[in-house]
Amino acid sequence: MKELRDGNVLKIGELAARAGLTVRALHHYDSIGLLKPSGRADSGYRLYNRDDVARLHHIQTLRRFGMSLADIATFLASPDAPFADIVAQQIAALGKQIEQATTLREQLTRLQQVLSRGDSPELSDWLRTLEMMDLYDKYFTREELKRLPFWQQDARRNAAWAALVAEVEALMAQGVPPDDARAGELSERWMRTLQHDTAANPEFARRITVMLEREVKAQQQTRITPALREYVSAAMSARRLGIYARYLDADELRTMRANSGKNQEEWMALIAGVHQHVEDGIAPDAPSAQALARRWMALFLAQIGGDPATLAKIRTAHDLEPALLSASWVTPAMLDYVRTSYATLA
């Protein structure tokens, strides 16, 4: 739109043609007070001068940013409002729109993949999948979701988890105690599957656990209720205590059994913290590593009763029994890291 020289005016039709607008749009701008002509001809035609054209420039620019007419009016009514702030706000808004569009594109791509295999998912199944995706978005970033197998929601993985849940439900319905060998074997498979589907990342596992604790919808759709998770956890604990029994006396084992299951949330956070330190290559003598090691040893000593002799037996068990660390998200490298870090405190 060409600007006017001082003293020149445009009729409404001329301004509309130059600005690429309709006369009706300019009438509307006038009626809401957004752009009022500075004068009128004797015939009644609206006349727009250079300042009016400049204001229309601002209006059109802000409209391209996606601002509503009401917001534009508010902005133009504040002459001291920094235009850079508006640009920053619109960039942020566009970023959100891009993120939402990317999410939708990924969801549609997944539906296309299902359909390309000749499968015809029920509408209710697809809606449940979308709901679960929305839940995951609350606990993971987009980059994290790309690394999280659990989020893929493919039919094979869903079927495997449904089968595991059904097996646990069956044992619970039959009254099979958690310390039964069948429950222990099933809990081992459960934890191995969970470790795989969280990319062996304990922080991902921690957030999945938090999601299942807080989100009733997630519990309903997966059938992984608090009672079911407690049963699996108790069965896994009993399975590991059975291995420790080869190395500990009756009193030591009784202490460990009494303390089993305590501080689970803190343990998960500690394991995730140590894992991240190892991944990031942070030195064991770094203050943050020492803080993790100090709390780790404090919790562990409390769990085993604080006897150094028991601690030595536990370490021997860990060295000789790989099953103790199986599906625990704790690796030998992480244990070495904690021990090395703790030694630096002395």
- pLDDT tens column, 100-156: 667 667 766 766 666 666 655 555 555 566 667 777 888 888 788 888 887 765 667
Question: pLDDT band for position 3 (50/70/90)?
Answer: very low
Q: Percentage of the chain with pLDDT > 70?
A: 85
Query: DSSP H helical segments within 140-286, as ranges?
Result: 142-146, 155-173, 181-197, 202-214, 216-222, 226-244, 250-259, 264-280
Tell me, letter by letter, the H, E, C secondary structure of 296-322: HHHHHHHHHCCCHHHHHHHHHHHHHCH
Q: Give yes or no for a contact between 256 and 304, defined as CB atoms under 8 angstroms apart.
A: yes
Give the pTM. 0.62
Question: pLDDT band for position 75 (50/70/90)?
Answer: confident
Q: What is the pLDDT of residue 237?
A: 93
Tell which residue, 38, 41, 57, 40, has the closest CA to residue 49: 38
Which 3 state secondary structure label does DSSP give 39?
strand
Average predicted confidence (pLDDT) for the chain: 85
Question: pLDDT band for position 67 (50/70/90)?
Answer: confident
Pairwise pLDDT comparison (238 vs 263), residue with the higher score = 238
- When pLDDT is averaged across residues 303-314 and rounded to a whole number, the result is 90
